[in-house]
Every structure is written in C-alpha cells, then in structure tokens.
Amino acid sequence: MSIAGAIADARKSATRMAVEYSSTKSIHILVGTFNLNGKTNGINEDLSSWLCPNVGVSQQQPEIVAVGFQEIVELSPQQIMSTDPVRRQMWEKAVKRTLNENAARAGSEEYVLLRSGQLVGAALAIFVRSSVLRDIKNVEGSEKKVGVATFIK
C-alpha cells in the first residue's frame, strides 16, 4: 500500500466516523470590534446599538457573541511588560450587562462569558447563551508574547 492510498483510506474512515459521531446545527453569531483608544468612555452607557441590533421576528438573538477590543489600555512600557486585566474585565461586565438586559427584554436566556484573553492592548471576549453551553466542549486558548521584551537581553 502506498502512502497516498493510506491517506485516502484514513480520509474515508474519518468521513464515515464524522457522520456517525457528530451532528450539525445552525447558529447565529454576532462579531463586533471596537477601538477604545485606551479610554473607558462609554463603559456605563447602553451599548445596545452596537451589540444588539434590531432583528426581525423571524430572526433570533445570536447564540455566540464575540467582541474584540483594540487599545483597551494605553500603550505604555509598563503595560507592555505586565498587562493589567482590570480594563478588560470592566468592558466584559459592560458587554455582558448589555447582552443580558436585551436578552431579558426579548425573553431569552442569559449570556455567560465563555472565554476571554488579552495581549497588551488587544482583547477578545466570547459570550454564549447559557442554553448552548452543553454543546460546547474543549475550549482552549493560548497567548504568546513576542516583541520588544523577547529581544531585550
């Protein structure tokens, strides 16, 4: 048997197993990003116009909401060396508050923070409806700082 034949057999087997051991489900995902310019202006305001666009009766609220922030902290040598997560956590609370207030008005279940991370001035937070948590498995992530500090000896 050749390598190509073994690979083809493995691919066929994997396809059969995928059909047998997996299922598909359509979901709605909202993705948004915002440049904060190192500020917290607007953190206590209603973020609905950004995070909760008006959807028609035939549409539903998203199951997953992914929010990215740029310049979440002022970029300083101190922040580059040791990132403070406080601002990210403040914005996560603001986003979650907005999502859950709108979900309550729509009669939907609440959102929970699935995972978040920050690398200096960039941050990502992923929220999911509580009802889809049972369908989400093995959430992983990693961060690797490279740049100025890596090259300083």
Tens-place pLDDT, residues 33-88: 999 998 888 889 889 888 887 766 556 789 999 999 999 888 777 777 777 789 99
**pLDDT > 90? residue 101:** yes
**pLDDT > 80? residue 103:** yes
Residue 7 domain-assigned (yes or no): no
CATH of the domain at 65: 3.60.10.10
Average pLDDT on 14-28 reads 84
User: Which is higher by pLDDT, 22 or 117?
Assistant: 117
Report the distance separating Cα 90 and Cα 80, nearest Å: 19
* pLDDT above 90 coverage of the chain, percent: 38
Give SS3 for 132: helix
User: Which is higher by pLDDT, 127 or 135?
Assistant: 127
Residue 97 domain-assigned (yes or no): yes
**pLDDT > 80? residue 13:** yes
Give the domain range for residue 51.
26-132+142-151
Average pLDDT on 19-30 reads 85
Residue 47 domain-assigned (yes or no): yes
**pLDDT > 70? residue 1:** no
Sign, Cα dihedral of 66, 70, 73, 76: positive
Q: Which residue has the tokens 């997560």?
A: 85
Please give the full DSSP string across 1-55, using - where no structure is assigned. --HHHHHHHHHHHHHHHHHHH-------EEEEEEE-TT--TTTTS--HHHHS---
Residue 37 domain-assigned (yes or no): yes
Residue 2 domain-assigned (yes or no): no
Residue 92 domain-assigned (yes or no): yes
Mean pLDDT estimate for the chain: 85
What is the total count of domains within the chain?
Answer: 1
pLDDT at 56: 60
Residue 20 domain-assigned (yes or no): no
pLDDT at 146: 72
Residue 5 domain-assigned (yes or no): no
**pLDDT > 70? residue 27:** yes
Average pLDDT on 102-116 reads 92
